[in-house]
Amino acid sequence: MDEMERSLDKLHYLFIEKTDRTVAYCLDLDLVAVADTTPAAERRLNILVTAQLMRAYSCGDFDALFFCSPTTLWQQKEHAKELPKKSLKLETKPPQVLPVEQRLLKLELPVERYAA
């Protein structure tokens, strides 16, 4: 992924099924989860991604949103089978820098899913 592309407008998940487990990657945030099945691995990955996004937004640490997986995984995604898209929904408060009214940010990011 090009370093100049500093925008997080969707998430890319890659699932690699092994004989005894599934490894799930969020390529945009370089997060990994492992479970016995693909749905379980995806649930675990969603928890990790949600925690990372909520921390980044609530603390104002937006650099945490731009830590991509290695190029080899992105290349593997290019040759993987596309799965049905899903959405990851979360609500978090924006960072409070000045005394302003707090409101919830409602985010819904499309999740592109692939199986290798």
Phi/psi region, residue 108 (left: phi>0; alpha: psi -120 to 50; beta: rest), is beta
> What's phi and psi for 50, nearest 5 deg?
-60, -45
Range of the domain at 88: 11-94+103-115
Residue 3 lies in a domain: no
Per-residue pLDDT of the chain (116 residues; tens, 9 = 90+): 444 445 678 999 999 999 999 999 999 999 999 999 999 999 999 999 999 998 888 777 888 888 889 999 999 999 999 999 999 988 877 665 556 566 777 888 889 899 88
pLDDT of residue 7: 64
Q: Which CATH number characterizes residue 45's domain? A: 3.30.160
Q: Count how many domains the chain has.
A: 1
pTM of the model: 0.75
1 lies in a domain? Answer: no
CA distance linking residue 115 with residue 97, whole number of Å: 41
Residue-level pLDDT at 45? 98
